[in-house]
Amino acid sequence: MTEDATVAQQVGLSVAKNETIRMKTLNVLREAIIAGRLAPGQKLIERDLCEQTGVSRSSIREALRNLESERLVESLDTKGVVVATLTPEIATEIYEIRAALDSEAALHFAQRATSEDLAELEDTFNALKNTPVENDEAFLAASNRFYAILYQGARNETAKHVMQLLGARISLLRATTTRRSPVERRHGTVELMGEIFKALKKRDGNAAALTIRALIERSAQSATALLKDGQANR
């Protein structure tokens, strides 16, 4: 194994060669930001990223342009490209959009979802319910899957596309607050998601939408408090 490959493994940015290199580079850097391995405010130097990932500078530049469009990184005149920092204001905006779109998706899911969609949602909720709350990655994966199925069953491609555009920032916000919040709080999240599933199983879109709004409001309050504490401690 070469020295560069060893460094890449150590920092968790090694790029597999069996996928499109530029897409894989984008995915690896995005995942590193969401997981916190590339920290908010961290300067991203192309030369260093090339060494860590083992890919060309052109692949790194294209990935950074895509990440900037997703607002996971930003270009600053004085610092160059840095990892974007979530603020309480940004979190509030994201949750406002989610409250509107997720609740509407619940209404549409109740009307349009197939029996297969419902079965998939049930399987995903059961996986979430049986995931140890201490397991951040598994908990986040099951939560993300739950909402993906919600939009799948809602059969609204425009809403689904809008959420995909916001997907990276939503994942970053969800991961950031999950890692910082008390583990015990996740039990309440699971309970509310259970209520959402029960309402959707009964095809009661209004009840599901109301519960989603309650869950998002709860998440928004927690997230903004955590991010304000983070600002105060910097």
- pLDDT tens digits for 163-203? 988 989 999 998 888 888 888 889 999 999 999 999 999 99
**Segment of 133-137, 140-144, 202-206 carrying the highest mean pLDDT:** 202-206
Please count the other Cβ atoms lying within 10 Å of the Cβ belonging to residue 104: 16
Q: Give me the pLDDT at residue 156, please.
A: 96
DSSP string for 35-104: TTSS-TT-B--HHHHHHHH---HHHHHHHHHHHHHTTSEEEETTTEEEE----HHHHHHHHHHHHHHHHH
Q: Give me the pLDDT at residue 4, please.
A: 54
181: phi then psi, degrees, rounded to nearest 5: -85, 155
Per-residue pLDDT, averaged over 33-44, amounts to 93
Q: Give me the pLDDT at residue 57, please.
A: 93
Q: What is each CA distance from 37 to 72, 156, 172, in whole angstroms? A: 13, 34, 12
Q: What is the pTM of this model?
A: 0.81
Fold exhibited by the domain 3-83: Arc Repressor Mutant, subunit A (1.10.10)
What is the location of CATH 1.10.10.10 in the chain? 3-83
Q: Per-residue pLDDT for 107 more than 70?
A: yes
Q: Give me the pLDDT at residue 16, please.
A: 55
Q: What is each CA distance from 31 to 48, 114, 172, in whole angstroms? A: 17, 32, 9
**Structure token digits, residue 95:** 């949750």
Distance CA 15, CA 138 (A): 22
Q: Per-residue pLDDT for 11 more than 80?
A: no
Q: Give me the pLDDT at residue 222, please.
A: 92
Q: Per-residue pLDDT for 14 more than 70?
A: no
Burial 11-44 (b: 16+ CB within 10 A, else e): eebbbeeeeebbebbbbbbbbbbbbeebebeeeb
What is the location of CATH 1.20.120.530 in the chain? 88-233
Q: Per-residue pLDDT for 90 more than 90?
A: yes
Give strand pairing partners of 8: none
Please count the other Cβ atoms lying within 10 Å of the Cβ belonging to residue 46: 14
Confidence of residue 8 (pLDDT cuts 50, 70, 90): low
Q: Per-residue pLDDT for 152 more than 90?
A: yes
83: phi then psi, degrees, rounded to nearest 5: -70, 130
CATH of domain 88-233: 1.20.120.530
Residue pair 206/70 in contact by the 8 Å Cβ criterion: no
Confidence of residue 234 (pLDDT cuts 50, 70, 90): low
Please count the other Cβ atoms lying within 10 Å of the Cβ belonging to residue 143: 21
CA 205 to chain centre: 24
Q: Give me the pLDDT at residue 133, please.
A: 84
Distance CA 61, CA 107 (A): 41
Q: What is the pLDDT of residues 54-68, one digit of tens each?
A: 999 999 999 999 999
Q: Give me the pLDDT at residue 164, please.
A: 86
Instruction: Report the mean per-residue pLDDT for the chain.
Output: 90
